[in-house]
Amino acid sequence: MRVVLTLFCAILLLGAVLDAQTRKTAPRKSPTRAAKKVIPPVVTRIQAEWQCPSELGVGVTTTRKFCDVLTGREPRDGVLITIPPHRGPVLLSFELHNRHTYSEELVKAKQAYRKYTATIGVLSMDNTLVDRAVVQSEFRTARDLFDRIGGGAGPGGVKAVAPTGSELITMSLPEDVVDQVSILGEKLSVMRPDGTDNYTAAGRPVATISNVMLEFTAAPPAKKAPAKKKP
């Protein structure tokens, strides 16, 4: 009886040992690393700096600066927009207006109707066309003026020439456009009650712009060169 009991205990012990050897130990999970936070690039939106070859003036109501867009073939003769250091494309936006010479006499005589269609181009400084834009508007009475320009000899101290109509223009400048872009006029069509005139001669104001904005991701600061060790 003792022999049988001893043999039975030995069999149980052997089974426990074999079971422990064959049981797979679950692999330990390595502690997860904290996920790195991805910081999105900061987008900067600023009022653009420009060089205006023909300033129309400051609006009485909007207090905006208005700059005439002249026809021409050389980028240096246009409205020059300064492009800050950036990475990726730059979003350029501005409001494009037609120009109207206001006459109270023509309004009273119901002869003031004009339909303006102005075409302008935005170019890089190597004379590559980035994009074109068009503004079209009609004038009948003073209510059709976008603003009046101060500093004139007319009633209320305003100029006779005033912006009329408004078209918000937005375009993407390629990343390789640096330093400046130029806004140049291409052509102007003016429809009157007695006919239509078309203008393309160089140096003629065909439109005016205001509210020029830039939206871009700033370029990372330049790395400083390591200081040279003294001999």
Reference 141, options 102, 167, 115; nearest CA is 102
Q: Which residue has the tokens 């990475």?
A: 87
φ, ψ at 75 (rounded to 5°): -55, -35
CA distance 37 to 52: 44
Contact 74, 80 (CB under 8 A): no
Assign domain 49-218 one CATH number from 2.60.120, 3.30.450, 2.30.110, 1.10.287: 2.60.120
pTM above 0.85, yes or no: no
Mean pLDDT of the chain: 87
Q: Which two tokens stand for residue 23?
A: 């049981």
Name the residue ranges covered by the structural domains of the chain: 49-218
pLDDT recorded at residue 79: 98
Question: Would you say residue 30 has pLDDT above 70?
Answer: no
Sign of CA dihedral 164, 180, 185, 150: positive
pLDDT (tens digit, 9 = 90+) per residue, 108-145? 999 999 999 999 999 999 999 999 999 999 999 999 99
Sign of CA dihedral 173, 178, 180, 181: negative
